[in-house]
Amino acid sequence: MLPGNDSPLCGAKDAVDQQCDQSDDDHAHDDGVEVDAVGVKDEHHLADAARYRAARKRGGQVIHFSLDDAEARLAGEPVEADTPETLYHRRWAREVLARALQALEARAVGRGDAEAFALLKPALTDPTATALDTSAVAAALKIPLSHVKVRVHRLRAQFREAVLTVIAGTLQTRDPAAVEAEMRELLRSLSKEA
């Protein structure tokens, strides 16, 4: 049996409604924002309701993915295994080689051998030993093929000396052992690049 209008429960409900209406009037702020009976702004209620609607049974708004998918996706990404220190050493080594090459070229221009240096330079700069077409260089310089090979050998020895000179200029000591140690470090940093 449902309680009627004269039941004690209806009277209690009416008393609560009256108290809530009076409470609403008491809690009105000066800035015009009304606060409900328990003191929570209407906008907070709307935000809570929106979050509740967005929530899922498990995980809420978290995106789940498979580790297998991640491995496949990351396999195509470039790998940067070099540390900043390794990159610094590699850049330093390239700069030393560039300075040594400039010094050799300046010497060749000073001697009047700029054309020969330009033809033989690939033997120093290109990564393969077959980068230099010795027969074409021999024909251009009008010298025998064996002389081209000797010039390449001498140019490489001069290049090594020029590199050692540049390295010695960067050190505070002229100790040959320290210069050789720096040369080994230069070669090691360049070998990691290849």
Alpha-helical regions (H) of 27-174:
42-54, 67-75, 84-111, 114-120, 122-125, 134-141, 145-170
CA proximity to 166, closest of 89, 107, 93, 111: 93
SS3 170: helix
CB distance 93 to 99 below 8 Å: no
pTM of the full predicted structure?
Answer: 0.55
What is the C-alpha to C-alpha distance for residues 24 and 43, in angstroms, rounded to an integer?
Answer: 16
104-125 pLDDT, tens digit per residue, is 999 999 999 999 999 998 888 8
> Which backbone phi and psi does 157 adopt, to 5 degrees?
-65, -40
Is residue 133 within 8 Å of residue 98, measured between CB atoms? no
The model's pLDDT over 2-49, given as tens digits with 9 standing for 90+, comes to 444 454 444 444 554 555 455 445 444 445 555 555 555 566 777 777
